[in-house]
Amino acid sequence: MKKIELEIVALSHSITQTHSYAVVLGEVNGLRRLPIVIGGFEAQAIAVALEKMAPSRPLTHDLMKNFMTAFAIDLHEIIICDLQEGIFYSKLVCSGENDTVEIDSRTSDAIALAVRFGCPIYTYENILESAGILMEDTAGTGKKKKAKQEVVVEEDRPTGNEDLKTMTLEELNHLLNEVLDSEDYIRAIAIRDEINSRGKRK
């Protein structure tokens, strides 16, 4: 199965949704984005590595990297390999002196380690097709601009997920474009899921 390379384009949070965060992965040389909801601790671990901050004591993912490095274990890549009932599953592709092994991992942990090792992040077409969000190509180039790694903090505002059920598909798609323009990825996830759920009910 062909792998599709992703890159981190944003890390956003919404205080209104029980302190949920979203790490947003963008398709390299493509227009699709894959938002993944993660916890606060995992978001902090990713943000610290993205900003190249040096904590006074190593965080859990720093400790894991130090442990792997001490025993000559390299992280080659991570693969977001499955999506079941809204939960993403990933694996770490690691190698030692003689063997290459794949290790199951939570996706948030895998991304936090990928940032620290500087290794690529991949997924498969079926996952991007079902959970990805297509960004509009305003420049007409067919390719998205290389996104700068950044931490985007969203303003506190109501999510109003119940209102989505009363909207038409046309209204939902229009709203999706609006929230993507404002980079409110938590809201975009809810709208995407509502659109997908209606497709399944047909």
Domains of the chain: 3-159 (3.10.690.10)
What pLDDT score does 56 carry? 76
Q: What integer pLDDT is reported at residue 146 of this predicted model?
A: 40
pLDDT greater than 80 at residue 182? no
Is residue 172 exposed (0-12), middle (13-18) or buried (19+ Cβ within 10 Å)?
middle
Quote the pTM value.
0.74
Q: Provide the pLDDT for residue 73.
A: 94
For 158-178, what is each residue's pLDDT tens digit?
A: 345 557 888 899 998 888 888
pLDDT of residue 151: 37
Q: What is the pLDDT of residue 43?
A: 87
Closest CA to 24 of 7, 40, 49, 45: 7
Task: Please tell me the predicted confidence (pLDDT) of residue 155.
Answer: 32
* pLDDT in the model for residue 102: 96
**Amino acid making up residue 38:** I
The helix (H) or strand (E) run that includes residue 23 is strand 20-27
Give the tens place of pLDDT for each residue, 13-72: 654 456 678 899 999 989 999 999 888 888 888 988 988 887 778 889 999 999 999 999
Asked if the model's pLDDT at residue 188 lies above 80, the reply is no
- Give the model confidence (pLDDT) of 127-160 as tens digits: 999 999 988 765 555 544 443 333 333 333 334 5
Q: And the tokens for 112?
A: 């936090």
Residue 83 forms beta bridges with which residues? 88
Q: Which of 40, 5, 54 is nearest to 25 (CA)?
A: 5
186 versus 73: which is more confidently predicted?
A: 73
Question: In the structure, what pLDDT confidence band is assigned to residue 100 with cuts at 50, 70 and 90?
Answer: very high
What letter represents residue 199's amino acid? Answer: G
The reported pLDDT for the residue numbered 181 is 76
Q: What is the pLDDT of residue 161?
A: 55
